Amino acid sequence: MKKSKILVVGNWKLNPGTKEEAQKLVRAVINQTKKITENVTIAVAPPFLFIPEISKLTVKSSVKLSAQDAHFEERGACTGEISPALLAPYDVLYIIVGHSERRALGETDEQINKKIQTILKRRMIPIVCVGEEERDSQGNFYKHIEKQIYSLATGLTANQVSQLVIAYEPIWAIGTGQTATVEDVKEMQLFIMSVLAKLYDRQTAIKVQLLYGGSVKSSNAKELTSEGGMDGFLVGGASLQADEFVTIAQLATGIKNK
């Protein structure tokens, strides 16, 4: 059986503009979340500087906290970086790694693999993003995804890999309003599972939580939910409105168990 728990993560990126707005947004998410009784974990990923304040509010709620990135070193000569160790006291449970917006700034597969290892050592959960820049009719983009998965899993035991969340985010669908079709999403879910099963075994593959991300909104969440086969969503733009975000989470609870 696939994990029945659904995960919906709001990646706030470089938003909102002030601490007060961030507090208002998370308060609204916490309030709205109270109406959800289904089996769903909701997490928000604010900018680093808001984490201490947001943490004071999430810690008393069912909403979990995620960071948008972290360095693979715990300390040292790493100017401008934040480590998982610095995030741990604020009850940060998840850390997004390998987001395409960070890969675009030069983050490599090798660095992503090192980040995953550091995060797991801290007993936090990496949300590792994979995704192709564009699709070609020959299906070469599948090779690209396979390479990203091989690389992120390098040196990880089956037990370690089973703790990962992998977010499939086709780059062409991020922030563009263009969503992958449910068929695209379903095929990719099966493909990622088959790559993990080949690398490890089927039992391990089914333990890995798979998310879809890329222009998810309340208007398409239901369709992606019922047919896409994923275990939840990584939501960018639509996570900045509490109503919209929590509605997406509610719709995601309809994701069928596989």
**Interface contacts to ligand PGA, rule CB under 6 A:** 11, 169, 174-175, 213-216, 234-238
Strand (E) or helix (H) holding 110: helix 109-121
Which one of 71, 99, 132, 244 is the catalytic residue?
A: 99
Closest CA to 80 of 71, 88, 89: 71
Taking the least distance from each CB to ligand PGA, the nearer of 4 and 176 is 176
Q: Which is nearer to ligand PGA, 95 or 200 (CB)?
A: 95
Tell me how far, at minimum, the Cβ of 116 lies from ligand PGA, in Å. Answer: 18
Name residues whose C-beta falls within 8 Å of residue 1's C-beta, 6 or more positions apart in sequence.
206, 257, 258
Least CB distance to ligand PGA at residue 236 (A): 2
CB closer to ligand PGA out of 228 and 237: 237
For residue 186, give the 3-state DSSP assignment.
helix
Name the active-site residue from 71, 101, 132, 169: 169
Residue 179: CB minimum distance to ligand PGA, A = 8
Q: How far apart are CA 251 and CA 166, in angstroms?
A: 20
159/181 with CB nearer ligand PGA: 181
Distance CA 230, CA 221 (A): 11
In the complex with ligand PGA, the residue whose CB is nearer, 11 or 204, is 11
Q: How far apart are CA 216 and CA 188, in angstroms?
A: 16
Least distance between ligand PGA and beta carbon 248 (Å): 10
The least distance separating ligand PGA from the CB of residue 170, rounded to whole angstroms, comes to: 10
Say whether 107 is catalytic.
no
| Long-range contacts, stretch 180-187, CB < 8 angstroms, 24+ apart | 180/212, 180/214, 182/223, 182/224, 182/226, 182/227, 182/228, 183/227, 184/135, 185/212, 185/224, 185/227, 185/228, 185/229, 185/230, 186/227, 186/228, 186/229
For residue 169, indicate whether it is catalytic: yes
Catalytically active residues are: 99, 169
